[in-house]
Structure 1
Amino acid sequence: MLGTTVTHRRYVPYSHAHYAGNLVDGAYSLGLFGDVATELCIRTDGDEGLFASYSDVQFRAPVRAGDVLEVTAELVRAGTRSREMRFEVRVLARGAATDEQPGAAQLLPEPLVATTATGTVVVPAKA
């Protein structure tokens, strides 16, 4: 069970941009962490689980509309009902629109780590 990993990929739509430069708020990453945590709990416990807390959140680089993200959760500790997970959002591709090419985008040479966190999810006690 420890070391189990779940990864999702997601395109960030322009409708989620809230700030200049097409920046997306940090809560977007936290919502994605909830999604991968849910799948991880389903895989390990047969239940969606409930998010209890974050012990650490680091916003390391911007997430922008037009980005392609890879979001990962890894199970690092399992108690009787609690599951501690390590999370990471990486930017794999970024929009590079110009007037001549409004839909231009590029793969990044190396993924950019945008957000990291550690969180705890609780699941029902085993019968």
Structure 2
Amino acid sequence: MTDRPTPASHPAQVGMGVTHARYVPYAHAHYAGNLVDGAYGLGLFGDVATELCIRTDGDEGLFASYSDVQFLAPVRAGDCLEVTATLVRVGSRSREMDFQVRVMARGNPERGASAADVLDPPVVATTARGTVVVPPSA
């Protein structure tokens, strides 16, 4: 029998969340207008889901599915993003989460090559709901 590490001290509870902040480098722009593909945000959702599972279950978990994804506004190179995962349902092995990408700041080339503005309010660029599975508890 192998010993499994003790899960995190915060058992999975509806309402728990994780937020990451990220600058979008120009190397990630694939389209005219410095647009970034939608898959960029989905990758960030995987990152916040992983941290949330580590915090609640002591395991990275495995992304199983999305039940909804909405691309609401563009994400561009040079954007400063906040990406959140919020736990909305806890099953015996599944964790359902709501995700959101918000653009917090964006470049403003009209004011200068390196000018940028803080967006107030932030722009919600992408939302999703997804399910992650974790191993059975010991």
- Give the TM-score band, short-chain normalised: over 0.9
1:81 paired with 2:93, answer yes
TM-score normalized with structure 2 length: 0.89
Unpaired runs of 5+ in structure 1? none
Is 1:61 aligned to 2:73, yes or no? yes
Q: How far apart are the structure 2 equivalents of 1:62 and 1:42?
A: 30
For 1:17 and 1:97, the matched residues in 2 are separated by: 16
What does the per-residue CA deviation read over 1:53-79, in whole Å, with 9 as the maximum and x for residues that have no partner? 000000000000000000000000011
Residue 114 of structure 1: how far off its partner (Å): 0.2
| Secondary structure of residue in 1 paired with 2:109 | coil
Equivalent residue for 2:112?
101
Partner residue of 1:122?
Answer: 133
Counting only pairs closer than 5 Å after superposition, residues 4-43 of structure 1 correspond to structure 2 as: 4-43=16-55
Deviation per residue, 1:67-96 (Å, 9 max, x gap)? 000000000001110000000000000011
Equivalent pairs: percent with the same residue?
76
- Give the TM-score normalised by structure 1: 0.97
Moved over 4 A (4+): none
> Which protein is bigger by CA-based radius of gyration?
2
